[in-house]
Amino acid sequence: MEKTRPLWATPLQFVFACISYAVGLGNVWRFPYLCQMYGGGSFLVPYIIMLVVEGMPLLYLELAVGQRMRQGSIGAWRTVSPYLSGVGVASVVVSFFLCMYYNVVNAWAFWYLFHSFQDPLPWSVCPLNGNRTGYIEECEKASSTQYFWYRKTLNISPSIQESGAVQWEPALCLILAWLVVYLCILRGTESTGKVVYFTALLPYCVLIIYLVRGLTLHGATNGLAYMFTPKMEQLANPKAWINAATQIFFSLGLGFGSLIAFASYNEPSNNCQKHAIIVSIINSSTSIFASIVTFSIYGFKATFNYESCLNKVILLLTNSFDLEDGFLTANNLEQVKDYLASAYPSKYSEVFPQIKNCSLETELETAVQGTGLAFIVYTEAIKNMEVSQLWSVLYFFMLLLLGIGSMLGNTAAILTPLTDSKVISSYLPKEAISGLVCLANCAIGMLFTMEAGSYWFDIFNDYAATLSLLLIVLAETVAVCYLYGLSRFESDLKAMTGRALNWYWKAMWGGVSPLLIISLFIFYLSDYITTGTLRYQAWDAAQGQLVTKDYPPHALAVIGLLVAASTMCIPLGALGTLITRRLKQGDTAPVA
Amino acid sequence: MTQPDPVGSSIPIRVRKKTRAYVILTVMLPCSHRATTMRPNDNNVTREHTGRSKAKELTAIRADLCRPDAENAFKVRLSIRTALGDKAYAWDANEEYLFKAMVAFSMRKVPNRETTEISHVLLCNVTQRVSFWFVVTDPSRNHTLPAVEVQSAIRMNRNRINNAFFLNDQTLEFLRIPSTLAPPTDPSVPIWIIIFGVIFCIVLVATMLLIISGIRQHRRKNKGPSEMEDSEDKCENVITIENGIPCDPLDMKGGHINDAFVTEDERLTPL
- What is the structure's pLDDT at B38? 41
Domain membership of residue A7 (yes or no) is no
What's the pLDDT tens digit per position in B3-13?
333 333 444 44
Kindly tell me the number of DSSP H helices and DSSP E strands found in chain A. 30, 2
A95 near A414, Cβ under 8 Å?
yes
CA triplet A249, A255, A259: central angle to 5 degrees? 100
Question: Helix A238-251 and helix A272-321: axis angle, to 10°?
Answer: 120
A297 near A378, Cβ under 8 Å?
yes
Domain membership of residue A398 (yes or no) is yes
- What's chain B's average pLDDT? 71
- What is the structure's pLDDT at B28? 44
The helix (run of H) or strand (run of E) holding residue A295 is helix A272-321
The shortest C-alpha distance from B260 to chain A (Å) reads 33
User: Residue B267 above 60 pLDDT?
Assistant: no
Whether B206 sits inside 8 A of A339 (CB atoms) is no
Interface test with A, best of B170, B196, B209, B227 (most A CBs within 10 A): B196
User: Residue B227 above 70 pLDDT?
Assistant: no
What's the pLDDT tens digit per position in B37-92?
444 444 444 455 555 555 555 555 566 777 788 888 888 888 888 888 888 888 88
Domain membership of residue A356 (yes or no) is yes
Cis peptide before B4 (omega within 30 of 0): no
Known binding-site positions of A for Na(+): 22-23, 27, 251, 283, 402, 406
Q: Is B101 exposed, middle or buried (0-12, 13-18, 19+ CB in 10 A)?
A: middle
Which pTM was predicted? 0.79
All residues of chain A having their beta carbon less than 8 Å from the beta carbon of residue B185 are none
Domain membership of residue A442 (yes or no) is yes
Domain membership of residue B89 (yes or no) is yes
* CATH number of the structural domain spanning residue A198: 1.10.4160
Rounded to whole angstroms, what are the CA distances from A580 to A83, A577, B81?
A: 11, 5, 87
Domain membership of residue A362 (yes or no) is yes
User: Residue A61 above 60 pLDDT?
Assistant: yes
Q: Which of A127, A319, A323 sits opposite B184 (nearest CB)?
A: A127
- d(CA A260, CA A274) in angstroms, rounded, equals 16
Domain membership of residue B23 (yes or no) is no
The structural domain count of chain A equals 1
Domain membership of residue A2 (yes or no) is no
A51: Cβ contacts below 8 Å, ≥ 6 apart: A248, A280, A281, A284
A 10 A CB-CB count for A237 gives 15
Whether A128 sits inside 8 A of B78 (CB atoms) is no
Interface test with A, best of B186, B207, B219 (most A CBs within 10 A): B207
- d(CA B81, CA B85) in angstroms, rounded, equals 5
Domain membership of residue A221 (yes or no) is yes
- d(CA A384, CA A396) in angstroms, rounded, equals 16
Q: Are strands B121-124 and A545-550 parallel, antiparallel or unpaired?
A: unpaired
A 10 A CB-CB count for A353 gives 7
All residues of chain B having their beta carbon less than 8 Å from the beta carbon of residue A324 are 25, 29, 128-130
B256 band by pLDDT with thresholds 50, 70 and 90: low
Domain membership of residue A591 (yes or no) is no
B138: Cβ contacts below 8 Å, ≥ 6 apart: B120, B144, B145
A509 near A486, Cβ under 8 Å?
yes
- What is the structure's pLDDT at B41? 44
Q: Are strands A535-540 and B121-124 parallel, antiparallel or unpaired?
A: unpaired
Torsion, Cα A108 A110 A115 A121, to 10 degrees, reads 70
The structural domain count of chain B equals 1
- What is the structure's pLDDT at B17? 45
Residues of B engaging A, defined by a Cβ cutoff of 8 Å: 20-21, 24-25, 28-29, 77-82, 88, 127-131, 178, 180-181, 183-184, 191-193, 195-196, 199-200, 203-204, 206-207, 210-211, 214, 218, 225
Whether B196 sits inside 8 A of A117 (CB atoms) is no
A115 near A423, Cβ under 8 Å?
no
Q: Which of B29, B78, B204 sits opposite A179 (nearest CB)?
A: B204
Q: Which of B21, B180, B184 sits opposite A343 (nearest CB)?
A: B21
B101 band by pLDDT with thresholds 50, 70 and 90: very high
Rounded-to-5 percentages of helix, strand, coil across chain B: 55, 5, 40
Q: Which of A176, A183, A429 sits opposite B206 (nearest CB)?
A: A183
Provide the residue range defining the domain that includes B112: 75-174
What's the pLDDT tens digit per position in A264-306?
999 988 998 999 999 999 999 999 999 999 989 888 988 988 9
Provide the residue range defining the domain that includes A580: 14-585
- What is the structure's pLDDT at B263? 53
Searching chain B, which residue's CA lies closest to the CA of residue A131? B180
CA triplet B219, B224, B228: central angle to 5 degrees? 150
A38 band by pLDDT with thresholds 50, 70 and 90: confident
Q: Which of B199, B207, B218 sits opposite A186 (nearest CB)?
A: B207
Domain membership of residue B80 (yes or no) is yes
- d(CA A305, CA A311) in angstroms, rounded, equals 10
